[in-house]
Structure 1
Amino acid sequence: MKPLILGLTGSIGMGKSTVAAMFAGAGVPVFDADAEVHRLQAPGGAALPAIEAAFPGSTGPDGLDRAALGAAVFGDDAALARLEAILHPMVAAARNDFMASFADKPLVVLDIPLLFEKQGWSQVDRIAVVSAPAEVQRARVLARPGMTPDKFAAILARQLPDAEKRARADFVIPTGGTLDETRAAVARVIACVAGPPGE
Structure 2
Amino acid sequence: MMTKIIGLTGGIGSGKSTIAAYFASKGVPVYIADDEAKKILYTPEASEEVKKAFGEIVFTEGQPDRKKLSELVFNNPEKLKQLNAIIHPKVSSHFEEWVKQHSTSPFVIKEAAILFESGSYKNCDAVILVTAPKEVRIERVMKRDNVTRENVLARMKNQWEDEKKAALSHYIINNESLDIAKKQADNIITIINSQSSR
TM-score normalized by the length of structure 1: 0.89
The alpha-carbon distance between structure 1 residues 153 and 85, as it changes in their structure 2 partners (threshold 3 A), is same
| Percent of paired sites with the same residue | 31
2:11 match: secondary structure: coil
Letter paired with 1:16? K
Mapped pair 1:186 → 2:185: yes
Letter paired with 1:169? S
Deviation by residue 1:17-62 (Cα, 9 ceiling, x = unmatched): 00001111111111111010121235x5652222223222322348
2:108 match: secondary structure: strand
Alignment of 1:1-199 (within 5 A): 1-42=1-42, 46-55=45-54, 56-61=56-61, 63-145=63-145, 147-177=147-177, 179-195=178-194, 197-199=196-198
Letter paired with 2:183? A
The alpha-carbon distance between structure 1 residues 159 and 127, as it changes in their structure 2 partners (threshold 3 A), is same
Q: Per-residue deviation at 1:146?
A: 5.2
How many Å separate the matches in 1 of 2:89 and 2:126? Answer: 23
Letter paired with 1:15? G
How many Å separate the matches in 2 of 1:162 and 1:136? Answer: 14
How many Å separate the matches in 2 of 1:98 and 1:104? Answer: 12
1:47 match: secondary structure: helix
How many Å separate the matches in 1 of 2:44 and 2:110? Answer: 21
Q: 188-197 or 62-71, which moves further after superposition? A: 62-71
Which residues of structure 1 form unaligned runs of 5+? none
Letter paired with 2:181? T
2:8 match: secondary structure: strand
Q: Give yes or no for contact 2:41–2:87 (8 Å, CA) kept in 1.
A: no
Q: Per-residue deviation at 1:16?
A: 0.4
1:195 match: secondary structure: helix
Q: Per-residue deviation at 1:119?
A: 1.3
Q: Per-residue deviation at 1:155?
A: 2.0
How many Å separate the matches in 1 of 2:146 and 2:50? Answer: 23
1:176 match: secondary structure: coil
Number of matched pairs: 197
Which residues of structure 2 form unaligned runs of 5+? none
Q: Per-residue deviation at 1:118?
A: 1.8
Q: 8-17 or 133-142, which moves further after superposition? A: 133-142
Q: Give yes or no for contact 1:39–1:45 (8 Å, CA) kept in 2.
A: no
Q: Give yes or no for contact 2:138–2:153 (8 Å, CA) kept in 1.
A: no
Letter paired with 1:54? A
Q: Per-residue deviation at 1:171?
A: 0.9
How many Å separate the matches in 2 of 1:103 and 1:61? Answer: 40
Letter paired with 1:48? S
